[in-house]
Structures are given as structure tokens and as C-alpha cells.
């Protein structure tokens, strides 16, 4: 956890988009439109409306959801977490009108437990995960997240970390690249792409997004290039997830968030690809199951579900929203509410 870029009470420090610009030109405060905002507000309202409620925004981004929640709930205290220094800087300015109720911490979401401990908070009423890449990360060519720009192969959300996409592309073995492309990008042609990358890097280091996109396109059979959008999409997603250890962070952060919720507390998760959504589904389903031995007429004490699902499956955005903000199209929302304390706290 890095607290050098944090804001509390006004003390400030330095291909799926979480927030995108509306097409109609009606730019809201802060300049970006949070994905599925009204649904997020609706789901969290019963939990965070109580006096003194605390909500954790575990992927703060541009602070759009945070701003709307603070505006809607005048006594809400918000703890915002993000690894990107730009996100912390931007949200510090955006949330300045609510500074007395805001704590911003530069950290990775899997440090959530430490962030709460440092803030002196044991239990919270709400947690929001807005996963994926924010629009500035996609739109700023120099960050190297997008195949639509020619830029250095970077893809770091935390610009201070050492691992970059360039290192992965030029140093991982064929087997390692194949695994990443298959597991994180769900790329059917993963072995072909990995082999061509290693062949081309032996001639000259691959250092730009444009060159990598060209290699991927060449590796994928022509028949497969005709559908599914840009053929580099899956490879870029896979590299981004590897560089930022996104799934590993979620695998730690989501259970920690569920553990931190008080009875009546709610978690909302916005994911942008099937791997994130699958992990979310598994974590929430595990907490909503009766763990009694099979065949019993009623749950055994201590084995009842601790959470209940608030959504039926994964909810997509409306057609109206995706027309206004195309980057929201891949979003899927799941939510759950704590209904019982853990056994050791009963």
C-alpha cells in the first residue's frame, strides 16, 4: 500500500472502458459517464444510506461512481482505492467538494484489508468493484493499452512497477506466452501467436503496440480474422491482465471485501470480460450456498448461507446506455448482500 498519494479531509497528493464519454456531448461533472450508474446507485442505496455508513470503491478510476454516491448520501464516508497515480490525482480534484468524507489511497485492490486497517475501519456497509481499464488509460496513447494507437508496449496501471508488456512479449517463453494468451485472452490461436512473437522478437525486439498488433494479425488464420473485431484484442487483453496481475488481485480483494461487510452490507461488481465475471460468480456463489450435508431437511446451524444474491445472473447495461457509451457494452453486473455474520461472530 502506498499512501504518498492520498487525500483525506482535503489533504491532497499528487478494451473495456470503465467510464466513457457520451456521444451526445452532454458531459457530466468530471467529464466521463460511469457505467451502469443508476443500477449501481439503486443496489447500494439500502446499505449506504444509514448515518455513518462507509463504502469502499476498490477501483476508483475517475471517481464517477464515487461522486454520485457521495452526492446521493450526505453522510456517507468513502474510501477510494486505485493503483494509478493519475486516477488518484484526478479523483482528488473531482471529489474535493466532499473532501471531509473522503479518503483516497494509492494501492492495489488486493490490499483492501490493509487499507481498512490503516483507516481505522473494521466493517463497511458497501463495496464497489469497477474492474477493467478506465478511459484515460485507453485513450492516452503513451500508456500502451490500446491496439488502435502506435505506442510503447507498456500497459502498466501502476506506472511505478517494473513489469511491462514489452518485457513479457520479449522475454517470456513460448509456453508462458501460450498460457497467458489462452487463459487470460481466451485466444483460440494462442500457440500460433506465441510462436510468431518469439520468431519475430529474435530478429528485433518488439517494442510498439503497432508492431505487436501486426504480428498477431499475421499469426491468426484469415478465416478467424473475419469475425470478432480486431484480431489483436484478445492478445492485448491477456498481456494487460498479466502485467497488472488483475485476476490475482480480484481473487484476493473480493473475498476480503465480503469479509468486511456488516450484516445488510452490499457488494456490487462490474466486470468487463468473462474471466472477471466467472471469478466474481464463483466468489459470490460460494457465500450464498447452504454448506450442510446433502439431504438434510433444514440447514444445520452455522452452515446457512451468509449472503444472498441481488441479481439474477450477470446483468448487462441497457441498449440505451450502450448506444450512448459503446465501451459499456461488455459490462456485466453482479451484486450480493450479507444476511448473516460468520460463525465465529454469531
Residue labelled with grid coordinates 496481475: 245
For residues 332 and 328, what is the distance between their CA atoms, to the nearest angstrom? Answer: 9
Please give the full DSSP string across 111-144, using - where no structure is assigned: GHHHHHHHHT---EEEEEEE-SB-HHHHH-GGG-
**Would you say how long the chain is, in residues?**
346
* Binding site members for S-adenosyl-L-methionine: 63-65, 82, 130, 137
* Exposure on the CB side of residue 114, measured as CA atoms within 13 A: 11
For residues 110 and 254, what is the distance between their CA atoms, to the nearest angstrom? Answer: 8
The grid cell for 59 is 477501483
Cα–Cα distance list, 159 to 5, 64, 107, 240, 303 (Å) = 13, 22, 12, 13, 44
Helix locations, 120-208, DSSP H: 135-139, 165-171, 174-183, 190-203
* Contact residues for 96 (Cβ-Cβ < 8 A; gap 6+): 10, 12
Please give the full DSSP string across 252-316, using - where no structure is assigned: HHHHHHHHHEEEEEEEEEEESSHHHHHHHHHHHHHHTS--SPTT-SSPPTT-S-SEEESSSSPBP
For residues 40 and 51, what is the distance between their CA atoms, to the nearest angstrom? Answer: 19
The grid cell for 292 is 450442510
Residue of 125, 32, 140 whose CA lies nearest to 84: 140
CB neighbourhood size of 1 (10 A): 15
**DSSP type of residue 162:** S
* Binding site members: 63-65, 82, 130, 137
Amino acid at each position: 500500500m502506498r499512501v504518498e498519494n492520498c487525500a483525506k479531509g482535503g489533504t491532497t497528493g499528487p478494451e473495456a472502458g470503465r467510464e466513457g464519454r457520451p456521444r451526445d456531448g452532454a458531459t457530466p461533472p468530471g467529464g466521463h459517464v460511469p457505467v451502469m450508474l443508476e443500477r449501481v446507485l439503486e443496489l447500494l442505496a439500502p446499505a449506504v444510506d444509514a448515518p455513518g455508513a462507509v463504502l469502499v470503491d476498490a477501483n476508483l478510476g475517475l471517481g464517477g461512481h464515487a461522486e454520485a454516491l457521495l452526492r446521493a448520501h450526505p453522510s456517507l464516508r468513502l474510501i477510494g482505492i486505485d493503483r494509478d497515480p493519475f486516477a488518484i490525482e484526478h479523483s482528488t480534484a473531482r471529489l474535493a467538494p466532499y473532501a471531509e468524507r473522503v479518503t483516497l489511497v494509492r494501492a492495489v485492490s488486493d490490499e483492501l484489508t490493509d487499507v481498512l486497517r490503516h483507516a481505522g475501519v473494521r466493517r463497511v456497509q458497501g463495496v464497489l468493484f469497477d474492474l477493467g481499464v478506465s478511459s484515460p488509460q485507453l485513450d492516452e496513447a503513451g500508456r500502451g493499452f490500446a491496439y488502435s494507437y502506435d505506442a510503447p508496449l507498456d500497459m502498466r496501471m501502476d506506472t511505478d512497477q517494473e513489469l511491462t508488456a514489452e518485457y513479457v512479449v520479449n522475454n517470456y517463453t513460448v509456453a508462458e506466452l501460450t498460457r497467458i494468451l489462452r487463459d487470460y485472452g481466451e485466444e483460440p490461436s494462442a500457440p500460433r501467436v506465441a510462436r510468431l512473437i518469439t520468431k519475430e522478437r529474435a530478429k528485433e525486439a518488439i517494442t510498439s503496440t503497432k508492431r505487436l498488433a501486426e504480428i498477431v494479425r499475421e499469426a491468426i488464420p484469415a478465416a478467424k480474422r473475419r469475425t470478432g473485431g480486431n484480431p489483436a484484442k484478445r492478445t492485448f487483453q491477456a498481456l494487460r491482465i498479466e502485467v497488472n496481475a488483475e485476476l490475482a488481485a480480484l481473487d484476493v480483494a473480493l473475498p476480503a471485501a465480503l469479509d468486511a461487510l456488516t450484516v445488510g452490507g452490499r457488494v456490487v461488481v462490474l466486470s468487463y470480460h468473462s474471466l472477471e465475471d466467472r471469478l466474481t460468480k464463483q466468489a459470490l456463489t460460494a457465500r450464498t450456498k447452504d454448506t450442510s450435508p446433502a439431504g438434510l431437511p433444514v440447514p444445520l446451524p452455522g452452515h446457512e448461507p451468509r449472503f444472498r444474491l441481488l441479481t439474477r445472473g450477470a446483468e448487462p447495461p441497457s441498449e440505451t446506455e450502450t448506444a450512448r457509451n459503446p465501451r459499456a457494452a461488455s459490462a456485466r453486473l453482479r451484486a450480493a448482500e450479507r444476511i448473516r455474520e460468520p460463525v465465529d461472530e454469531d
